[in-house]
Structure 1
Amino acid sequence: MTYLTIFLTVAVPLAILKIYWKLNTRWNRSYKCLIGKTVLVTGSNTGIGYYTALDFAKRGAKVILACRNKIKGEEARKQIIKETNNDNVILKVIDMESFESVRNFANDFNRNEERLDILINNAGISGVDYLTKDGYPVIIQVNHLSPFLLTHLLMNKLHKAGHSRIVNVASNMVQTGKFEPKNLGLPVEMSHKTYRSTQYYSDSKLCNAVCTIEMNKRLKNTNIIVNALHPGVIITNIFDNQSKFITSIVYSFKWLFKTIEEGAQTTLYVALSEDAGKSGGRFFNNCRDVGHYKNATDPDFARRVYEKCEKLVGLKPEEQIKL
């Protein structure tokens, strides 16, 4: 078999697959104006979070960039202002590896902001395996526990907005998540770091999904809508912590995946579209309501995970959402 034959055998099907994905990528088509609205996007100095915040700023919103890195966050803030001529873009520092930082951020927000119309829980991490100072696997804390805590601490401002939305950026890795609620937050017993970090990532995204369902149930008599989504496969800095082998494979096929701007579309759709604002507790992919994966549909499992999360993050009775 010649090199040309091998190339054509591999490249042609991949090119067809790329064209198919490109043609089937859906875009948020909402023309919703956000003047007078306040939005908060975590992890917004780069990647999907940046493009999401940029879109909100173009619509006239007051945009809060919640970032860990103050220098990179300030660069993003200046760039968004430059591109949109919207000066109402504010940087606030938050470290999702620390519950104390999350609480300090929320206290500052609650003191200085009147309302919160849209909360985008976008910040995420993968490919790492260590415990935070709070004692939890970092992927579990950054991807789920800290956003879970933050959402509860900002609930009063979401209520004050009248009609508000919570958007949890999850992943289709939900379907490979598997754990007992009683063991959530404990280190998993796997011999290899890559396997552990991959399982933590899947488990964190399953937590995103089931807590979206349970939170929606608890907010059913309010004007707050909470939904989750899969943004698609996009090469962002979330891959920076992966092994060199995995990173090399991923970047070799980078051209196949969605652009970062394309990856932000489902987040924007869930945050802005009329369809996504009709009901909560749903899961979206490619700007469509696709329902939930089977392992996320057990209501008892969702309740137990939610109650476990309340304990892990140390929610006080007055901070909890009661049924």
Structure 2
Amino acid sequence: MLADGRHAELADRTILITGSTGGIGKATALGLATMGARVLITGRDRGRTEDAAREIRAVGGGVEVFIADLSSQSEVRRLADEVLQRHPRLDVLVNNVGGYWNTRHVTADGLEHTFALNHLAPFLLTNLLLERLKQSDTARVVTVSSNAHSMGFIDFDDLQGERSYSGARAYNQSKLANVLFTYELARRLQGTSVTANAVHPGLVSTAFGADDPGRAQRLFVPVLRPFMKSPAKGAATSIHLASATDLGHVSGLYFAKSKATTSSKRSYDESVAARLWEVSTDLVGLTTPAATS
């Protein structure tokens, strides 16, 4: 640790954190900035994103703002282009952005919103930034999933919920997709300087899902809220994975409470992961080989 309280290993690190205007994302950005990293934060609303940046600057953190609605693939591509143009170095990508919608919504690309934002956005952004990450001596991709993934199933016959939609089912599927993506990414990145791991943040008290809550959320969240983690505690595992020196070469794992743990049986199905990768590649229009060493 440096004399000013910063961590030496983060003093020259640049970290991009998506969905950083509130909740776990903002807490992750605050924590890493306080440790000395330069954080790049994203949000849909400029006012909220600038407010988050002011909070980070108030604790002495270095921060840069990027505005993008990551449910839109053109916005994901624009964000990647801006990051690449403005930063010759990128050391960590924290795929934190996500959401829950009880009713089915369609994005500007004609895709179901939950799948588009929670899975396709991190899939596309990661692939667009991989070459820059590979230029770092030790780079990391941290993707925020959830234990809800254990209830998920990848329905290749109805990925977009066109025939049958449930907010919970769509969310659980997207969180399983996060873990499958992480494991497949780690396999494809073997032999490179980039690691990939997934995170379960725990039950955290945020405004998550408040725009379109389901019946269970309306009934149970008020009861459970006093027992939920604070955003700072929910961000602890993401911060640990982004910063811990002993994790520099640890890849392809699922973490909860800052420790590696076992994910669901379905998440280890390599054939499903490979198929999901190919389907996702088509859905986001990647024309070059994705995440190959």
Q: TM-score range by the shorter chain?
A: over 0.9
Going from structure 1 to structure 2, the CA distance change for 1:312 and 1:234 (only over 3 Å counts) comes to: same
* Match for residue 105 of structure 1 among 56, 61, 79: 79
Please, what TM-score do these two structures have when normalized by structure 1? 0.84
CA RMSD, 1 decimal:
1.7
* 2:213 alignment counterpart: 242
Kept after mapping to 1: 8 A contact 2:101/2:209: yes
| C-alpha separation in 1, matches of 2:251 and 2:278 | 19
Could you list the runs of 5+ residues in structure 1 that have no partner in the other structure? 1-29, 191-195
The question of 1:199 aligning with 2:164 is answered no
| C-alpha separation in 2, matches of 1:274 and 1:58 | 17
| C-alpha separation in 2, matches of 1:131 and 1:155 | 28
* 1:170 alignment counterpart: 145
Kept after mapping to 1: 8 A contact 2:144/2:201: yes
* Identity, % of aligned positions: 31
Amino acid at match of 2:109: D
Please, what TM-score do these two structures have when normalized by structure 2? 0.92
Amino acid at match of 1:74: E
* 1:297 alignment counterpart: 268
Could you tell me how far 1:188 is from its partner in structure 2?
4.7
Could you tell me how far 1:56 is from its partner in structure 2?
1.2
* 1:221 alignment counterpart: 191
* Match for residue 157 of structure 1 among 132, 146, 169: 132
SS of match in other structure, 2:208: helix
Kept after mapping to 2: 8 A contact 1:179/1:203: yes
Bigger Cα Rg: 1
Going from structure 1 to structure 2, the CA distance change for 1:188 and 1:31 (only over 3 Å counts) comes to: farther
Amino acid at match of 1:298: D
- 1:264-298 C-alpha deviation (Å, 9 max, x unpaired): 11111221224433321110111110022101111
Could you list the runs of 5+ residues in structure 2 that have no partner in the other structure? 1-5
| C-alpha separation in 1, matches of 2:122 and 2:37 | 22
| C-alpha separation in 2, matches of 1:224 and 1:183 | 33
| C-alpha separation in 1, matches of 2:262 and 2:248 | 15
Kept after mapping to 2: 8 A contact 1:136/1:186: no
| C-alpha separation in 2, matches of 1:311 and 1:135 | 14
Could you tell me how far 1:304 is from its partner in structure 2?
0.7
Kept after mapping to 2: 8 A contact 1:136/1:187: no
Amino acid at match of 1:212: T
* 2:37 alignment counterpart: 61
Kept after mapping to 2: 8 A contact 1:32/1:272: no
| C-alpha separation in 2, matches of 1:235 and 1:81 | 24
